[in-house]
Each structure stands twice: as structure tokens, then as C-alpha cells.
Structure 1
């Protein structure tokens, strides 16, 4: 069940958090994993962990917002079976408090970055006889979340892109789904709390955790497990669908 033997997976933003958990799990399940991250050292660290566990992986420094860099990286990698568009950045702000520069920065990574990787990967997947694409969306694409204007806009676009790709390439044997996490305990969360609430990290962590009806944040490994299922043969009948993994946030908070 859920084996990825002889599969080649490419995961963006895999140097930490959810992407790192996916890379490690996919390698444990038999995939050769290409670990892409804007930080070369972060990508290399994940590859080192994978190899220490007996898995196979390669690190690539890649800024998904840079079209030429993405195309060159994907061209070097060649044929793949799985693409996970996980790279993304966050932003806090409303429509009238988000600067044009910040809006463009979020769009360049979270929307154009996904487009760049799709544009580069789909010909490789088609040549390979099909494959699987996972795009990381968010509960912010489903419900209104305060002070997340640019981020919500971007994740809504990712969800729409997922539907479009699923329809356009179904006859090529390419499945495309998205995952919408709620709050996940990643290094980003710890860094955000340390920066914005110094001395109150524990208190604010508990407050954020309790916004999930289930009473805690998700673990990166839980999101990775869902991604593994969607990339496996056991999910071969699933395409064009978004999967919330949110501790009841969308349904029970509405």
C-alpha cells in the first residue's frame, strides 16, 4: 500500500516544514526525490537526512518565482512521475494595507511559481506516460481569514489552477489534486511567534492551536501522509479535487 517504488518525485519548497516531511516520507516509500528549495543548504540538509535513512534524493537550489531558473532545473532533472507544488510564502495584511510590492511578491511565488513548475513539468509527465501533480492550496481559499488578503487570493488561484490542469490533461494520464491545510506546526510558525510575540510564544501558540476545532495544529507528517496517498496507485481514481486537512476548521467554524 502507498508504495512509490521506481517513481521519481519533485517537491518544491522541500527544505523545511511540510515539504521536508513529504520528501522524507516519499523517499521512505521508495521514490527518488528531487528536493527543490530556494535555500541550497536547506535542500542539502533534507537530502542528507534521506540518505541517512537509506533513501535516494538529490538537492537543487531553485527559486520557483524565476521562470528561467525553473526551466533549467526541470530540464536537468528530466522525466518525473510526481510533482508537488509546495513552495510558498505567507503575508499578513488587508486589501488596503497590502502594498503593491508585497502583493506582487506573494503572487510571484505562490501563483507564478506554481505556473512555472506546471509549465516545465507537464511535458515531462506527458512523455513519461502520465503522473501526478499535487498543488498546496489552503483553507484560506475556502473561508475568509482576517488579514490574509494576498495569501487568500493566491491560494484561491492555486485551487482554480488545479481544476484546470485536471481537466486539460486527464487524457494524458495526469492526475492533479490540491491539498488545503489548516494551521500546521512548522518552523515558520515558531519564527512568526518569536518575531511578533516575543516572550508570549507559548501563550500565542496555544491560542493559534485552539482556532482549529480539533484543538491543535496539524503535524507536517500528517499532511505528508495525505500527499503520499494522493500520489499512490491507491488514489488512481481521484483527480480534480481539493482535500482540506484542517481539524474541522472549514466545516465546524462556519
Structure 2
């Protein structure tokens, strides 16, 4: 069987200062991949890079970069070339939701008619646009910048981070759901567009993992107990638990590796069975 062939490759990880993407970056480092950790928060990016070098002895650099600015990403690429070399892999992990793009009510019911600000009608467009852009454009622009190295090599792989929202939208979070659905479509589109170049494009669709972006929806800040929404998620996840960030690593490593040389344009759920369960 072919080797994974990950050692000494260079991967860019956007959103790498966060809980999920730092775990995936460390999963790559464990296989010998050199990583460029990109995050809007430079301190968080450098912290993860230092942890990687200390724990795995593999070169890693932390860079402040804005995934919504092509100029910022191009500046990051220059630094990556200087410190690590040319890019082999891209993990598009930057994303998230915001309270300003979230409805208070799950359903528009009769008793909400005099409080429309808690429903779809109360969504703030500034928040909606910000969430959609961060997730979708924040995947498109890094692909535009970092895939050029792969084009020169006629080899490389991109893994986008989608979500369970992409299959069936969850209540309350229309901007995040719409953006993740767009990422699925874009993953397929770009996979076909790049199919003759040697660059593969796939995505993972994580199930429910506790993060800073969704904690306010799933855990009651006052009591520390699960919210009604959190209880619904656990009830509808056959494994009856949230996922751990490290449980995303195997799928990411596989999709980037030579083991997946004939795989492009797929979105792989990593969800404890959530997407397979009808609720009955």
C-alpha cells in the first residue's frame, strides 16, 4: 500500500489559533508536516506554533493573517516561502458563527408576532454578512492564494471545513448554515476545476463539538447545564456525545495524504452518526 507521504510537506492552516484547527494542525505535525498557523490573533497563532515545535519537534510558524484580505494572505505566503518553503496543503479552517447572525427564537409562532426582533425579521445584516463572508469568502480567498504553489508542483490538496449545517440547516443560525452549504458546493466546483492540475479538493463536515462560537447556544452560562438545544443535539447523535477536536485529525490526514490520491470533490461527515439518524 502507498505511504501517507505527509512527512516534510508544508501545510497552511487558517483559523489555526482556534480549538478545532489547532488540534488538526497538531495532527498534521504528528505526521511530520511543517505547518503555517494563520489566525487573525497573532498571539494565538504563535502560541499554537510554539506548542507544535515543543511537542512534535516539527517546524511551525504562527502568522497574523486576515482570510478576508487577499493582500494579507499574500504577505503571509511570502513569509511561508521564506521560513518553510512552498505550500503543499491547505486546511481552510477559519470560520464561525456570531450572536448577531443568530435568531433568539427557533420558530416564528403566534406568541412571537409582537416580538419580531427575536425572529428572522430581527437579524442584523451586518452580522449576517460578517458570518457569511468569514466562512465562505474566508475559504475562497486562501484557496486562490495558496493553491498557486500547488499548481506549480502539479500536486497538492485542499481540505475545507464544512458542517452538519450544510446538509440540513439548523434553526437559529441562517448565515452560518447558508455559508457552509456554499462551501460544499464550492468544494465540488473547485475539485472539478482543478481536476486536471494534480490538486485535489475535499471537505470535512464536523458534527457537534463544543467551541467558543457555539458554547453560548449549547451550555447555559448560569447553570453550566445543557440548554434545550444542547439536549436535542445529544439526543439526535447516535454516539450520544459531542466530538473531540482530535477526532477530526484522522479524516483530515487521510484526505491530504497519498492514500486519497483518487478522491476529490467529497464532503466527509465526522459526526458520531448525526447525519445518518432520522430521530426514530
Alignment TM-score, normalising by the size of structure 1 = 0.92
In the alignment, what sits opposite 1:57? 60
> Separation in 1 of the partners of 2:180 and 2:120?
15
In the alignment, what sits opposite 1:149? 174
Structure 1 residue 188, shift from structure 2 partner: 4.0
Matched, 1:132 2:157: yes
Provide the alpha-carbon RMSD of the alignment: 1.9
Matched, 1:48 2:50: yes
The count of residues paired between Structure 1 and Structure 2 equals 252
Q: Which runs of 5+ in 2 are unaligned?
A: 104-118
> Separation in 1 of the partners of 2:276 and 2:236?
13
Per-residue CA deviations over 1:188-220 (Å, capped at 9, x if unaligned) read: 444x269x7222223339624444221001111
Matched, 1:202 2:225: yes
In the alignment, what sits opposite 1:170? 195
In the alignment, what sits opposite 2:76? 73
Per-residue CA deviations over 1:38-64 (Å, capped at 9, x if unaligned) read: 111111111111111212101101111
What aligned pairs does 1:84-163 form with structure 2 within 5 A after superposition? Answer: 84-91=91-98, 92-93=102-103, 95-163=120-188
Q: Which runs of 5+ in 1 are unaligned?
A: none
In the alignment, what sits opposite 1:248? 273
SS for the counterpart of 2:225 is: helix
Question: Is the 2:97–2:213 Cα contact (8 Å) retained in structure 1?
Answer: no
> Separation in 1 of the partners of 2:77 and 2:135?
18
Question: Is the 2:10–2:33 Cα contact (8 Å) retained in structure 1?
Answer: yes
Question: Is the 1:64–1:116 Cα contact (8 Å) retained in structure 2?
Answer: yes
> Separation in 2 of the partners of 1:189 and 1:2?
33
> Separation in 2 of the partners of 1:97 and 1:224?
38
Alignment TM-score, normalising by the size of structure 2 = 0.84
> Separation in 2 of the partners of 1:198 and 1:139?
24
Structure 1 residue 2, shift from structure 2 partner: 3.4
In the alignment, what sits opposite 1:20? 22
Structure 1 residue 187, shift from structure 2 partner: 4.4
